[in-house]
Amino acid sequence: MRVTTTTRIACPPEQLFDTLADLRNEPQWNSRVSTAELRNTELRNTELRSTESIGQGSRFAIVNGGTPYDVTITTYDRASRLVLEASGKPDLTIAYTFTPTGDGTQLESDFDFRPRGALKLVFALLGPVIRRDVGKQFASLKALCERST
């Protein structure tokens, strides 16, 4: 199941990118995420841009809606493109594209949920609820980032 959204946020692409790339920020704007921890970093072909060493290969452990996920940054093109691969129930790929605008950033988000077994049926039924929840979470992200600018 795919969910795509486009959100305009009045903050620079670099700030928005850094907020999303460091998943430890997620509990601040995503009410479904209760914990997010950096597990380790194996940077490959990435210039370090912070003391936290977040980049391609960074791994996080998060709990979303009570479900644990192992998340790895697979694409890290600062302020342009960020792709996350999450292993859990279900597996999930999240791809973010950042486009500068006159007043900030247009964020395009593509969520590719890959449920297996009985979860396929559950996700088919809950599609509208999931889409609504994603929109709600991105409204919170927008508010967080715009307060920080």
Distance CA 41, CA 44 (A): 9
Burial of 41 (0-12, 13-18, 19+ CB in 10 A): middle
CATH code of the domain made up of 2-148: 3.30.530.20
Kindly give the interhelix angle for 13-21 and 119-148, rounded to the nearest 10 degrees.
Answer: 130
Domain boundaries, the chain: 2-148
Backbone angles phi, psi at 122, to 5 degrees: -60, -45
Q: What is the mean pLDDT of the chain?
A: 89
State the Cα torsion 18-24-29-35 to the nearest 10°.
170
- Provide the terminal-to-terminal Cα distance of the chain, rounded to the nearest Å: 34
pTM above 0.85, yes or no: yes
Block residue for tokens 């960020």: 82
Question: Using one digit for the tens of pLDDT, what is the confidence trace for 13-66?
Answer: 999 999 999 999 999 999 999 999 998 644 444 444 344 589 999 999 999 999
